[in-house]
Amino acid sequence: MTILFNNITFDCADARKLGTFWSTVTGWNLYYDDDPEVVVAPCFPPQGIGLLFIPVPEGKTAKNRIHLDFMPDTGTREEAVEAAVAAGATVIADHRKDDGAGWVVLSDPEGNEFCIERSKAERGPVAPRAFRLGS
């Protein structure tokens, strides 16, 4: 048996505000109706993973145990970081290195951490690696 990802769900205070932020950052569409939940996805109905925002009464109290890593599809890591900050993100930690490697850790307007890495174009060719499954 296998399972498929349906959504990555964010508990939040303001679903529409947070969904609007993530729609801006990802370039995906924002979908909502009279329900309090909001979906951000490339198309509707979502074909693949969407981001689901559900309002909850309690606030975030600790560091995320899981976070999203993003890589720009077009443009550079620097442009993606600048766009995220302009949309309302906050830089938490900067792990960029002099040789261009590294990533930037940011938080969305409700404190959920995410990272922006270099684009494929910025990384250049990557040598294939072999993985061994099992033992």
Q: What is the pLDDT of residue 61?
A: 84
- Asked if 37 and 87 sit in the same domain, the reply is no
Q: Among 32, 59, 86, which residue terminates a domain?
A: 59
Give the CA angle between residues 90, 91, 92 to the nearest 5°: 110
Which of 59, 84, 100 is the last residue in one of the domains? 59
Note whether residue 35 is domain-resident.
Answer: yes
Q: Which CATH number goes with the domain that contains 19? A: 3.10.180.10
Residue of 70, 7, 84, 69 lying closest to 38 (CA atoms): 7
Q: Are 51 and 7 in contact (CB under 8 A)?
A: yes
Q: Are residues 51 and 79 in the same domain?
A: no
Kind and range of the H or E run holding 70: strand 68-70
Instruction: Tell me which residue range forms the domain holding 23.
Output: 1-59
Measured between alpha carbons, how far is 115 from 104 in angstroms, rounded to an integer?
5
pLDDT (0 to 100) of residue 47: 74
**pLDDT tens digits in sequence order for the chain, 135 residues long:** 888 788 899 999 999 999 999 999 999 999 999 999 999 999 877 677 899 999 999 888 888 888 999 999 999 999 999 999 999 999 999 999 999 999 999 999 999 999 999 998 898 777 677 766 765
Q: Please report the pLDDT score of residue 88 as a whole number.
A: 98
Query: Two tokens at 22?
Result: 């993530």
pTM to 2 decimal places: 0.83
